[in-house]
Amino acid sequence: MIRKFLITLCLCISGAGVAQAGAITIAALGDSLTQGYGLPPEDGFVPQLQSWLDDQGRDVTLINAGVSGDTTAGGLSRVAWTLTPEVDALIVALGGNDLLRGIAPETARANLDGILSAAEAQGVPVLLVGVAAPTNYGPDYKQAFDAIYPDLAQKHDALLFPAFLDPLLAAAPDRATAIRDFIQGDGIHPNAQGFAVIVAAIGPTVLDLIERAE
């Protein structure tokens, strides 16, 4: 009886180890767009993406590492403790607050480069989510800022999703309709429906990230 008990115990431990090995943990390092500003917890980006992945039958746990108001500098300052041993992959969605503050593109580039370098040093694959710069800073600023994301994705062999909010524009006939249907009253942050559109668009790229992590 003791022998049978020990065999059963070993099998249970072995089975648990296999299940744990199959699970993937992804940290989403970002700002208020990642954090889910202005919405009930279940309606934000990370919870909706978690539900989407669950519907795909993927054994994935998402960690919401979004901090409202964070810049690329803030992301760089906390990437080390975001990349805990259980984190298998990283989504980086930063830069919007740099644009709001008019931070120099070369500064934002250096910060994002540092974040991707930290992930690369730990062998953690990255999905880099871009931000499209407005035109009010001039064409040179926009060109320099927009180039940050594809350049760094190529440098670090990261996956790239060109711009966080672009799916909202693609899902509406014009910008005014997109703002009316998908954006909260502040004119900046997506509502629950808007995040559903974004998740549906970015989801396949997150599946690619999971494959890299596996």
Q: Which of 31, 88, 98, 189 is catalytic?
A: 189
**156 has catalytic annotation:** no
Q: Which domains does the chain have, with CATH numbers?
A: 23-213 (3.40.50.1110)
**186 has catalytic annotation:** yes
Read off the pTM: 0.88
The pLDDT value recorded for residue 22 is: 59
The pLDDT value recorded for residue 17 is: 33
**189 has catalytic annotation:** yes
The pLDDT value recorded for residue 12 is: 38
Nearest-angstrom CA–CA distance, 170 and 68: 25
Nearest-angstrom CA–CA distance, 93 and 166: 13
Q: Which of 14, 31, 32, 43 is catalytic?
A: 32
The pLDDT value recorded for residue 9 is: 37
Dig out the tokens for 96 from the structure.
């919007």
Over the stretch 37-89, which tens digit does the pLDDT of each residue have? 999 989 999 999 999 999 999 999 999 999 999 999 999 999 999 999 999 99
Q: Which stretches of the chain drop beneath a pLDDT of 70?
A: 1-22
